Structure 1
Amino acid sequence: MADSRDARPSTDEETAPLLQDVSHPDAPQSEHTPPTFSERISSIVQEPLSPLSKILFVVALFFLLLSSIFIGLFAGAQHKLNRPSGGEHEKETITTTISYTATATLTATSISTGISTATSTTTVTSTVSPPTPTTPPEEPACLTPQCIMLAASVLSSLDTTQDPCENFFDFANGGWLKAHPIPSDKGSIGNFELLTQDNRLLIQQILSQDSSSVYTSALQTEPGALESSEHYDELLLRKLRGLYRSCMNEDLLNARGQDPLIRVVRTIGDLFSRKTTVVNGVNKDEDAFPDGLTAAVAYLHSRGVDALFSAQIEGDVGEDPNFMTLLFGQPSLGLPSKEYYDDESIVELYQSVLERLLVTLYEEDAAFEAEESEVLTVSEPTVHEDRLRVWPPWPWPPWDGGEGGDDGDEHGRRNRTEEAPILARNVVEFEKKIANASLDLDILYQDPIATYNPVPFSNLSKALPEFDFKTYLSTFAPRNFPGRVILDSLSFPESLSRILNETSRDTIQAYLETRAALELSPHLGTTTEAWKAVRSLEERLRGIKPGAIGDRSEYCVGRVEAAMGFAAGRYFVKEVFGGSSREKGTKVITDIIETFKLSLTNLTWMDGESASAAAQKADAIRVKVGFPLSPDTRNARSLAAYYNLVKVQETAFFENMLSARVNDQIKMWFQLGKRRDPEAWEMYPSMVNAYFNPPANEIVFPAGILQPPFFSQDWPAYMSYGAFGQVASHELTHAFDSAGRLYNQNGKLEEWWTNSTSEGFNKIQKCISDQYSSYYVDDGHGGKVYVNGNLTSGENIGDSGLIQAFRAWKANFQKSSADGDEFLLPGLNYTREQMFFIAFGRIWAQNIKPESAVSRVRSDPHSPNRFRVDGTVSNIPEFAEAFKCSSKAKLNPPIEKRCVFWG
């Protein structure tokens, strides 16, 4: 394959000579050769002119000169209208001199495309500015309504005052950025977010219909699969619509107040203090929970709330990637990343939020307990008000036998409401210790070897004796106790043990209660104190305007997707993913895979042995497009069984969400000790995203992202490969990035590249890590927060796969052109190569507030969108060639400064 810098010329470029049939002056001529044109002119000139001929000659000469002047003025005015302001284009000039004595053709060549742009005959010397980067192709453009609308969308996105070779993100998105200010209730707005809104609007229309309106047919329902599709569709839609209506009933949510959350927090307290031994509705032995910690954590985990540690079920990548085993790791934190615990202003706000939560929970719980006491003790004397405010109730702690303590009143009780400020401060310190004991995110995300630490289960129990793991597991998997567990950090269990021993039980209980409140308060009414407290933290971290609340229906559809996304996806797919969308989307992906395999043999850093193994892995990748088959979104009965445990009441949104969380946990734990389901998906169909799963060696593309501006079955190929091709190549490249390359074609974790290839890869990886570490975002206060190039290296390498999409499009150009899929769009005076890159740049359009940008840089393995565009194209020589960038352009660095992964 030719070097990547030797790109094929644009198919829009002129190839025919500008002056044809001009004889060479030294060419021999036969005796009978007719007189040449110049000889005929000479003979005519030598003939004497009549008076009339002289007059006509002068008039003709006058009109010729006048025409030349008008043509020059028109061309100059037209050029000024098309010329981008600023940049190098204003500095460069083209000077041409035209002779009187011969017909001369002036061809001004675009500095961006090399296309012929102007032809005229003149007799003067003139100086003009260089033409715009592109010119209208001579072949006719598509003028269907769809083509006109697509062209208008692209044109409105551009900012042609920007030089694409200097700021391509702004060039491709400047118009879009001006037209899409960030809503006051959001921290950012971009094409991903807008498409998510569009997808949710469609689902909302489905959910808002009357319950009797049922989709009576499924997507390609398999013959004989159902005895009554309509019956199961009705069951699914009843649940989906009931869940949606329960979320939309704001009056009822506000009337219920914080009671649903109070019940959860009371359960945590009862379990922690051993007042109850019921977890998930199952009675446990009195001695099952010696100190209540295990019971309380198990209860939280069963509701999908991280506390103390995380537990996941995934393949054992060191032994058998398809054997599902237990992964034990660090938990999520109340703040987005450990860096925030060193930010005094953020810590101060976070502590105040925790205090507000504790105060409102304790006060309302005391009132709740008072109401219950009045009902239970009608004939008894009135309970003193102070006693009603005590939590937890006497005796405390239970193993002290009711004896009073030094820090209590005469009965050994304390008013925890008054202690809320101290407890909040202690919880922050407790979380800070957990954060310091946790792995840095660049190791957690980018080093699968360091985070794969299989040990016998007894080792975990010994390292963390404060926790009863056998009892914990019996809550989720009573009949399947694993022989070993995989730790993401060998030191974390022992560190957690030490932290627990250094921390008071009051603080641990407050930590567990606030973990539940932070996670579940968004399901309450917006007038509750708990909701407001958690929202104030989100507003600060994301830059949201205080008090700004977005559209309730959009939020509620999002909750329905989170709870029953596969069921909602059944009807979403039916509406938007018909025709040849799946086939055309799959073709883009498979074309890129084939191109990627061909490119492996040309990589200077990869030897033949590693290239052969990489090609085998690429061949083995499972490609999933559109919708899952497990649960089978084509099969209403399959979906009804999958969501059988989700109980929906139209008057209980909070409980509905808890029910869905419990269902998700049961589904996850059910996989323990079993073989991987090859058809399972981690994303629901309407999600605007995609992923690569290393242990399964699969790339997955939900129907939600196969929509404009990422994809359309009616688009020209150069736009499909530029936009969706980037998504496809990104996920494919993840199989060979800093983490993905350490999994072989069967998803097993091992070093399957040769040492020399690994060394070559590491050198380029460092190059790209250093490159992105030089980028930064504004913190909103005049400071800079730099991108962590090590944290984002995997995603940056994934983005570098864009070149594979470009090559795949080029390789298929002749066929797609013959099929009529390379049609041009009206009003877009750009080559197809340029349009490919414009389509790529547009998908990353995003306005983001400084607070959200900082949060992303600190916690997200993806680089900010601006750098995903400019950083990517600066490493692709074909981009600079397409836009004819000068050697001094910012996005056309010298080859020695480029980080070129794929040749």
Structure 2
Amino acid sequence: MKYYFPLLYCGIAVMTFQGCTQSEKGTTLSNTPEKLIDPANMDTTVKPGDDFFHYASGVWLKNNPVPAKETRWGSFNQLRDFNAKAVKSILEEVVNNKEAKAGSPEQRVGDFFASAMDSTQIDARGDEPIKADLARINDISTIKDIVGEIGFQHTVGIGSPLYRFNIDQDEKNTAANIAQFGQGGLTLPDRDYYLVNNTRNRDIKQAYETYVQKLFTLAGSDDALAVKKFEQIWEIESALAKAQWSREEMRDPYKTYNKLTLAALEKSAPQLNWQETYNILKIKGADSVIINNPDFFKNTASLLTDEKIDQWKTYLQWNVLKNAAPILSTPFIEASFAFTQALTGQKEITPRWQRSFNVIDENIGDLLGQLYVAKYFKPEAKKRMVELVKNLSETYEERIKTLDWMSETTKKKAIEKLRAFTPKIGYPDKWKTYNDLEIKRDDYFGNIRRAKTWDYNDMVAQLGKPVDKTRWGMTPPTVNAYYNPVNNEIAFPAGILQFPFFDFAADDAVNYGGIGAVIGHEMTHGFDDQGRQYAADGNLKDWWTKEDADNFKKLADKVVNQYSGYTVLDTLHVKGKLTLGENLADLGGLAMAYAAFKKTPQGQSDEKIDGLTPDQRFFLSWAQVWRMNTTPETAAQLITVDPHSPADARTVGPIVNMDAWYKAFDVKEGNKLYKAENERVRVW
């Protein structure tokens, strides 16, 4: 499976648009505050060496609780809300544009948005859009048909029951695409929700039961039948959870690389009827596939028995219902949100227009992205980013050369990989055209189904074709960034090129503490515990000497121990092994950004701004990027599922290993965050 290492967890990450120069009207949209580092946001009653998270942002955190329509609130969210106003103006403009050329991005995005906002028509249809799906499943009478329905649902945008399937690059032969299957099939965010019996998980189970019963009742089941259906679903999903590997295990790219022929698949899990599944999934001309967890498929196959046909039918109907609920009529939407509330603590549903543009971005993101780039993206931002990437890359190479734990042999390979990085900045060189995708102004549900079907067909069409390395893993409006190891590329969508990460008017301390650290973060993913196992050409292969690998693992273990000591909600410990890659990226990224900053005139001076030295501004810039309030429910969920550490740990984790931070804020032995020099972890 291809790995993307994003700056934020993708499932929760803020997707948004950047507001920049509005050239048509000569006005400028800007969310930059008067003071880039505002002392009014700081809590100076707290010693920086005791609690840098609150020292840097304590007053801001107190004055900015999580809004009712959010689950977290921080710099990312503020940027999203600011940029949402910009994208809303685009959508309102195109939806009313009667002169838009047929087939143009303006016309197609406008029609999609119009369909999404027509709540009267959507409510009038009720559950009509899914009745045919539920009836088709109800008529199933054999296990063969169950397996066929599972595959069919993958292809037509209904959902991804039982397993995950995609076409991606072969990690040991990245010049070729290959069919890949992965463990899946759960509704709750992680297998632990089914396997760990504690108060929090029992409460979630109760909310889940209510959700299942509500949706089946809305679809026509009586109360008694709805209760039975939940029991059937819980039994199947619990069995799937037991068959899954943990998230920590799934981080091992060698363990999850299992290349099998079709004959071997048929032998290991014959009940899954692989030849027919191949045909339904449109896998043509493939002699082998990659399975991330062979045990999952063996154990899953044993569940496909004649005695369980009714249970599987219920499970497949549930897959239809849960995926459709957020885009059906109001009663379905309200039931879906009630379950979201239990999981995340969000108090109010996100406004319809905001949900709508998120759906449009997800389904036809390149059409929406074209409108955004044309109106709001500054070419100068891309030029400046190219310079920053170059500066960080040169600094990274210098630091690799000075590592005292790595041999010259491995250093040579590391530098070769670093020089082979491909940076992607802003937006794709070529856009998806979505040819033959029909978008109707009066069919929101149908638009989504057709868009997802188009996307599936576009994906399977890549099988047998040369790998297209121009494709992106995120849309241009996204406030995030990522590293993709099989392409050895770092990507920075246009959406993140805005304050607090980046600002043309900002001093270098602010930009290097913000976007500089982001660039360094993504670069370091190429050398974290997962990324380091991929070579310069993107292939999964070992380029380390054994001694160097052992030295790296010893340092990584120290990082695991450091972060495992951090807690959330007083009792939940950060999972140091799950978050290792992101923590290494934060440590390396901030260290690289600081070293690059020290090459600038400001970095070499002592000139203060608003009473703060250049180094203080650098570290405070880093801290304000990660300032964030989070609902308790979401905090608990993220500890289980998110490979990133929580905001306070991300703020302090890297800095306590940097000598410069101690000097900048006069942190000494006796301060709570103090680490002795010989205990500070320096990897990259």
What is the TM-score normalised by the length of structure 1? Answer: 0.69
Identity %: 28
The partner residue of 1:837 within 619, 628, 634 is 619
- Does 2:68 align with 1:262? no
Q: Partner letter of residue 148 of structure 2?
A: T
The partner residue of 2:274 within 460, 465, 469 is 469
8 Å CA contact 2:389–2:519 kept in 1: the answer is yes
Indicate the residue corresponding to 2:15 in structure 1.
Answer: none
Which stretch shifts more, 785-794 or 296-305? 296-305
Indicate the residue corresponding to 2:227 in structure 1.
Answer: 421
Give runs of aligned pairs for residues 197-596 of structure 1, distance below 5 A. 197-209=81-93, 213=97, 231=101, 235-270=104-139, 272-273=140-141, 290-303=144-157, 305-318=159-172, 320-341=173-194, 342=196, 343-363=201-221, 418-444=224-250, 446-477=251-282, 480-501=284-305, 504-526=308-330, 528=331, 530-545=332-347, 548-596=348-396
State the 1:331 CA deviation. Answer: 1.2
8 Å CA contact 2:166–2:180 kept in 1: the answer is yes
Indicate the residue corresponding to 1:712 in structure 2.
Answer: 503
8 Å CA contact 1:151–1:825 kept in 2: the answer is no
CA distance in 1, matches of 2:413, 2:226: 59
CA distance in 1, matches of 2:399, 2:520: 13
8 Å CA contact 2:116–2:356 kept in 1: the answer is yes
8 Å CA contact 2:406–2:548 kept in 1: the answer is yes
Higher relative contact order (CA 8 A, sep 6+): 2
State the 1:273 CA deviation. Answer: 4.2
CA distance in 1, matches of 2:307, 2:401: 58
8 Å CA contact 1:600–1:611 kept in 2: the answer is yes
8 Å CA contact 2:31–2:82 kept in 1: the answer is no
State the 1:268 CA deviation. Answer: 3.6
CA distance in 2, matches of 1:147, 1:259: 43
State the 1:254 CA deviation. Answer: 1.7
The partner residue of 1:746 within 537, 561, 568 is 537
Q: Partner letter of residue 315 of structure 2?
A: Y
8 Å CA contact 2:141–2:309 kept in 1: the answer is no
Secondary structure at the counterpart of residue 491 of structure 1: helix
Q: 1:603 to 1:619 in 2, by over 3 A?
A: same
8 Å CA contact 1:796–1:868 kept in 2: the answer is yes
State the 1:468 CA deviation. Answer: 2.7
CA distance in 1, matches of 2:287, 2:273: 16
Secondary structure at the counterpart of residue 291 of structure 1: helix
CA distance in 2, matches of 1:482, 1:199: 44
Indicate the residue corresponding to 2:415 in structure 1.
Answer: 615
CA distance in 2, matches of 1:790, 1:301: 35
Secondary structure at the counterpart of residue 439 of structure 1: coil
Secondary structure at the counterpart of residue 440 of structure 1: coil
8 Å CA contact 2:213–2:223 kept in 1: the answer is no
- Does 2:681 align with 1:890? no
CA distance in 2, matches of 1:502, 1:268: 15
Give runs of aligned pairs for residues 158-173 of structure 1, distance below 5 A. 158-173=42-57
State the 1:897 CA deviation. Answer: 2.5
8 Å CA contact 2:262–2:275 kept in 1: the answer is no
8 Å CA contact 2:95–2:113 kept in 1: the answer is no
CA distance in 2, matches of 1:708, 1:590: 21
CA distance in 1, matches of 2:606, 2:154: 56
State the 1:183 CA deviation. Answer: 1.4
The size of the alignment, in residue pairs, is 650
CA distance in 1, matches of 2:627, 2:32: 21
Q: 1:538 to 1:795 in 2, by over 3 A?
A: same
Give runs of aligned pairs for residues 747-766 of structure 1, distance below 5 A. 747-766=538-557
Q: 1:825 to 1:556 in 2, by over 3 A?
A: farther
Could you give the per-residue CA deviations for residues 575-616 of structure 1, whole angstroms, max 9, x where no partner exists?
Answer: 332141101112112211111111112222211111111000
State the 1:483 CA deviation. Answer: 0.8
Could you give the per-residue CA deviations for residues 63-107 of structure 1, whole angstroms, max 9, x where no partner exists?
Answer: xxxxxxxxxxxxxxxxxxxxxxxxxxxxxxxxxxxxxxxxxxxxx
Secondary structure at the counterpart of residue 349 of structure 2: coil
Could you give the per-residue CA deviations for residues 764-789 of structure 1, whole angstroms, max 9, x where no partner exists?
Answer: 111111111111111xxxx6211111
8 Å CA contact 2:185–2:240 kept in 1: the answer is no
8 Å CA contact 1:718–1:836 kept in 2: the answer is yes
CA distance in 2, matches of 1:249, 1:161: 52
Secondary structure at the counterpart of residue 259 of structure 2: strand
CA distance in 2, matches of 1:331, 1:301: 16
Indicate the residue corresponding to 1:603 in structure 2.
Answer: 403
Q: Partner letter of residue 203 of structure 1?
A: V
CA distance in 2, matches of 1:512, 1:824: 65
State the 1:700 CA deviation. Answer: 0.4
Q: 1:703 to 1:172 in 2, by over 3 A?
A: same
Secondary structure at the counterpart of residue 272 of structure 2: coil
State the 1:426 CA deviation. Answer: 2.0
Indicate the residue corresponding to 2:681 in structure 1.
Answer: 899
Unaligned runs of 5+ in 1: 1-144, 216-229, 275-288, 364-415, 632-638
CA distance in 2, matches of 1:604, 1:614: 14
Which stretch shifts more, 665-674 or 840-849? 665-674
Q: 1:265 to 1:586 in 2, by over 3 A?
A: farther
Q: 1:503 to 1:664 in 2, by over 3 A?
A: farther
CA distance in 2, matches of 1:830, 1:292: 65
Unaligned runs of 5+ in 2: 1-28
Could you give the per-residue CA deviations for residues 305-337 of structure 1, whole angstroms, max 9, x where no partner exists?
Answer: 11111111111112x112010111101521011
Secondary structure at the counterpart of residue 842 of structure 1: helix
Q: 1:152 to 1:787 in 2, by over 3 A?
A: closer
8 Å CA contact 2:123–2:328 kept in 1: the answer is yes
CA distance in 2, matches of 1:461, 1:800: 45
- Does 2:614 align with 1:810? no
State the 1:345 CA deviation. Answer: 2.3
8 Å CA contact 1:734–1:798 kept in 2: the answer is yes
State the 1:210 CA deviation. Answer: 5.0
The partner residue of 2:71 within 164, 187, 193 is 187
Secondary structure at the counterpart of residue 428 of structure 2: coil
CA distance in 2, matches of 1:514, 1:825: 60
The partner residue of 1:867 within 649, 653, 661 is 649
State the 1:482 CA deviation. Answer: 1.1
8 Å CA contact 2:156–2:450 kept in 1: the answer is no
CA distance in 2, matches of 1:557, 1:823: 46
CA distance in 1, matches of 2:94, 2:165: 40
Indicate the residue corresponding to 1:371 in structure 2.
Answer: none
CA distance in 1, matches of 2:535, 2:606: 40
What is the TM-score normalised by the length of structure 2? Answer: 0.90
CA distance in 1, matches of 2:670, 2:307: 60
8 Å CA contact 1:362–1:417 kept in 2: the answer is no
Q: 1:619 to 1:823 in 2, by over 3 A?
A: same
CA distance in 1, matches of 2:537, 2:31: 43
